[in-house]
Amino acid sequence: MARARTQIPEFAVMAGGAAERPGLPGRGGMGRGVYESIRTAILDCTFLPGIGLSEQALSDELQVSRAPVREAFRQLVVEGLLEVIPQRGTFVARLSRSKIADAIFVREAIECRAAELAAAAPRARRRQLSAIVQRQARASAQHDYTTHLSTDEEFHHRILELAGHPHAWPALRLARTGMNRIRHLAIPEVGSDRIALDHHRLIVSAIVAGDGAAASAAMRVHIHSPLVFLDAIHARHPAYFQEER
- Could you please report the per-residue DSSP string of 18-72? HHHSTT--S--HHHHHHHHHHHHHHHTTSS-TT-EE-HHHHHHHHTS-HHHHHHH
Taking only the tens place, the pLDDT of each residue in 178-235 is: 788 888 788 776 778 899 999 999 999 999 999 999 999 999 999 998 888 888 888 8
Whether residue 55 sits in one domain with residue 112 = no
Q: Which residues contact 224 (CB under 8 A, 6 or more apart)?
A: 104, 108
Residues 102 and 85 in one domain: no
Query: 123-142, pLDDT tens digit by residue?
Result: 999 999 999 999 999 999 99
- Mean confidence (pLDDT) of the chain: 85
pLDDT of amino acid 227: 85
CA torsion sign for 165, 167, 172, 173 is positive
More confident call, 67 vs 228: 67
Instruction: Decide if 24 contacts 54 (C-beta within 8 A).
Output: no
Does residue 245 fall inside a structural domain? Answer: no
Distance CA 174, CA 60 (A): 28
CATH number for the domain that contains residue 232: 1.20.120.530
Residue 20 lies in a domain: yes
pLDDT at 170 over 50: yes
What average pLDDT does range 42-47 have in this prediction? Answer: 87
Distance from C-alpha of 6 to C-alpha of 61, rounded to nearest angstrom = 11
* Pick from 153, 218, 151, 144: nearest CA to 179: 153
User: pLDDT above 70 covers what percent of the chain?
Assistant: 87
Residue 144: pLDDT over 80: yes
**Residues 154 and 182 occupy one common structural domain:** yes
More confident residue, 18 or 130: 130
119 within 8 A of 113, measured Cβ to Cβ: no
pLDDT score for 176: 87
Rg (CA), the chain: 18
Q: Are residues 16 and 76 in the same domain?
A: yes
The pLDDT value recorded for residue 174 is 87
Domain count for the chain, please give it: 2
Half-sphere exposure of 234 (CA within 13 A, CB side): 14
Q: Which one of 40, 66, 92 terminates a domain?
A: 92
Phi, psi for 32 (deg, rounded to 5): -60, -45
- pLDDT band at residue 91 using 50, 70 and 90 as cut-offs: very high
Type of residue at 200: H
- Distance separating alpha carbons of residues 208 and 146, to the nearest angstrom: 27
Whether residue 78 is found in the same domain as residue 162: no
Which amino acid is residue 199, in one-letter code? Answer: H
Beta strands in 46-186 (DSSP E): 52-53, 82-85, 89-92
Which pLDDT belongs to residue 191? 79
122 and 109 share a domain? yes
- Residue 191 domain boundaries: 97-240
pLDDT at 6 over 70: no
Contacts of 118 (CB under 8 A, 6+ apart): 126, 159, 162, 163, 207, 212, 215
The whole-number average pLDDT for the span 142-146 is 87
pLDDT above 90: percentage of residues in the chain? 57
